[in-house]
Amino acid sequence: METLAADVTTVARNKWDFRCNLEVDYASEEVARMVYAALAVDKELQPDKVKRHMSVSNGKLSVDFEAVEARFLRASYSACVDILTLATKTIEEFGQGLIQ
């Protein structure tokens, strides 16, 4: 089963003052890459206000967000979690044992 961790940090250093890191451990590189692919389709609607960087390593999907305002960070994070949840549930339902 996957685990979920999030870290929200506010730092007043530059334009990108609001940060959040999300990590999901799928324990399977294949499943993590499937979810990554589902998330990668949608680009940020306002890339001048929100940045999102994703990576997969050792079956873990990591998503790092940076935003100019908390509301943009929240909207981007929420949309990402919605798609991540849908992709994970789809793989659980139709992935024929990909997620244990």
Superfamily name and number for 3-94:
Alpha-D-phosphohexomutase, C-terminal domain (3.30.310.50)
Strand 50-57, strand 18-25: pairing: unpaired
pTM given for the model: 0.79
- Rg over alpha carbons for the chain, rounded to the nearest Å, is 14
Interval 40-60: pLDDT, tens? 998 888 899 999 999 999 999
pLDDT < 70 stretches in the chain: 1-14, 97-100
42-73 burial: b if 16+ Cβ within 10 Å, else e: eebeeeebbebeeebeebbbbbebbbbeeebb
pLDDT at 3: 63
Q: What is the DSSP letter of 44?
A: P
pLDDT at 45: 86
pLDDT at 75: 95
pLDDT at 11: 47
pLDDT at 54: 97
